[in-house]
Amino acid sequence: MKKIIFIMAVAGITAFSCTPKTVPTANTQTATADNLAQGKTIYENSCGKCHDLPEPTKYDAQKWVGIMNWMAPKAKLTEEQHKLVYDYVISVKK
């Protein structure tokens, strides 16, 4: 049963990011497709309030670290939400 869940998670990530390798994350944990979907929702709900929703592909993973450190407090994100949003934006491929 565990194995089935694992395969589903991997398949989900693949479908989401179009790459078979695991999605890079802010820490050592692997973002699941579910995490990315959550991150997207938080992003869309929290990050378009003060300005237009920025294009995730406009910045690279390194730039997003700085942007998220700057913007997460503005959007009043929790530590967990900060991470979910970061994992989502860097998972979006051009």
Provide the binding-site residues for ligand HEC, judged by CB under 6 A: 46-47, 49-51, 54, 67, 71-72, 74-75, 77, 85
- Taking the C-alpha atoms of residue 8 and residue 32, their distance in angstroms, rounded to an integer, is 10
CB of 18 to ligand HEC, least distance (A): 22
Amino acid identity at 92: V
Nearer to ligand HEC, 30 or 81 (CB): 81
The greatest distance separating any two alpha carbons of the chain, rounded to the nearest whole angstrom, comes to 45
CB of 28 to ligand HEC, least distance (A): 22
